[in-house]
Amino acid sequence: METIGSPWMWAGFVAFVVAMLALDLGVLNRKAHVVGPREALGWSAAWVGLALAFGAWVFFQFGAAKGEEFLAGYLVEKSLSVDNLFVFVVLFAALGIPRALQHRVLFWGILSALVLRAAMIVGGAALLDRFHWLLYVFGGFLLFTGVKLWLHRAEAEDPGAGKVLALVRRLVPSTPRLAGQAFFVREGGRWVATPLFLALASIEVADVVFAVDSIPAVFAVTSDPFVVFTSNIFAILGLRALYFLLADMVGRFAYLKTGLSAVLVFVGAKMLVAGWVKVPPAASLSVIAGILAVSVGASLWRTRSRAVAAVAVPAEEGRVAEQRRAA
């Protein structure tokens, strides 16, 4: 297996991630505030731009195949991580977390997810290197998951957030009241978790579940641990900004599950036939990008009336208010 990523490259990438996180929380977002659409769009564009720039560096430094593997892995992870947005929306609504505090929860949740994903990727790479037959196990699992997701694509959105939250509440003594940005407060002579911590813990549990699908899916695109790790990390780093950008319109992704199921079936089948048929990285990238483009485009077209309504209602409310002021 031809791999890239010297110890210095690993160390340099980790240092870059730590520096960006420190800049995010320590400088740009020291105070809790509501992240508006413009700020979310700016951060989303910045993270996507950094990912594409890194992919271009891999392309020119290590060849077209590695660059295409990175972009395909990034697309797979980014698309699967959109499912996390449904969990975030449900959890924050159930716990009554205000917008100004959601950034803090997502920051620490994503920071923990980075450590967890790194451990799972290193462990998965070691297992595949030693037990090559696990490639077919992963492929079969992804194929099964993709078919199951397709069969249940029309069901009401239920990401399992309620069950996760109930589990965390049973395990952790908690209070229903918020205490600013605190995760724990003293109440009745003991420390109890605030809704902020319940949201954080639930997000972590949900991320473990999502990682079981997403990490094998990226290994189906590339077996290079450095490419798997960097594509995963770039996708996760941009997830928080993507949430604030898309939180109010997640209901518009009507065909997202259909697209994700097709991606999982494709990468699962690719793993199962890897011993006989070699699918070029460029072909994988084209198929994955095509599936996602069609599913997102079809979703936005089908739900375009919701976007018109979302614009029309505030405009009508403003017109009525203006008439009242004039009267």
31-45, 197-211, 237-251, 308-322 — which one is most confidently predicted on average? 197-211
CA-based nearest residue to 122, from 5, 44, 292: 5
In the predicted structure, residue 307 carries a pLDDT above the cut 90: no
Query: CB of 229 within 8 A of CB of 121?
Result: yes
What 3-state DSSP class applies to 255? Answer: coil
Locus of tokens 């295409």: 68
Show Cβ contacts of residue 233 under 8 Å, excluding neighbours closer than 6 positions.
13, 17, 114, 117, 118
Higher pLDDT, 75 or 35: 75
- Residue 277 CA: distances (Å) to CA of 27, 224, 269, 274, 290: 50, 18, 10, 5, 21
Q: What is the pLDDT of residues 65-110, one digit of tens each?
A: 999 999 999 998 888 877 777 778 878 888 888 888 888 888 888 8
Measured CA to CA in angstroms, residue 61 lies from 7, 48, 57, 95, 272 at distances of 16, 20, 6, 47, 30
Higher-confidence residue of 271 and 51: namely: 51
Q: Is residue 266 one of the residues assigned to a domain?
A: yes
The two tokens of residue 237 are 């780093």
Query: Both tokens of residue 285?
Result: 């990238």
Do the domain assignments include residue 309?
Answer: no
Whether the predicted pLDDT of 123 surpasses 90:
no
- Residue 32's pLDDT band, with cuts at 50, 70 and 90, is low
From the list 141, 153, 150, 148, the residue with the least C-alpha distance to 269 is 141
**What is residue 167's predicted lDDT score, i.e. its pLDDT?**
80
| 323 inside domain | no
Of the listed ranges 5-14, 50-59, 309-318, the least confidently predicted one is: 309-318
Burial label for 123, CB within 10 Å (0-12, 13-18, 19+), is exposed
Give the closest residue to 77 by CA, choosing from 306, 267, 299. Answer: 267
Structure tokens that stand for 65 in this block: 């195949």
Residue 312 lies in a domain: no
pLDDT band at 314 (very low <50, low <70, confident <90, very high): very low
pLDDT (0 to 100) of residue 105:
87
Structure tokens belonging to residue 61: 């430094």
Q: pTM for this one?
A: 0.80
Q: How many domains does the chain have?
A: 1
* pLDDT value of position 242: 83
Would 183 be classed as within a structural domain? yes
Bigger pLDDT: 314 or 171? 171
Establish if 97 belongs to a structural domain.
yes
109 phi/psi in degrees, rounded to 5 = -65, -40
Task: Residue 200: give the domain boundaries.
Answer: 7-272+280-301
> Average pLDDT of 154-160?
55
The answer to whether residue 105 is domain-embedded is: yes
Task: Note the Cα 60 to chain centre separation in Å.
Answer: 27
pLDDT tier at 248 (50, 70, 90 boundaries)?
low
320 has a pLDDT exceeding 60: no
Q: Is the CA virtual torsion 132, 133, 138, 140 positive or negative?
A: positive
Which of 81, 69, 70, 48 is closest to 260 using CA atoms?
A: 81
- The whole-number average pLDDT for the span 152-171 is 70
User: What average pLDDT score do residues 294-300 get?
Assistant: 87
- The tens digit of pLDDT for each residue in 182-193 reads 899 988 888 999
The reported pLDDT for the residue numbered 255 is 83
Work out the average pLDDT over 138-150: 86
200 found inside a domain: yes
**Residue 70 tokens, joined:** 């990175």
State the Cα–Cα distance between residues 242 and 44, nearest whole angstrom: 6
Query: Hey, what amino acid is at 258?
Result: T
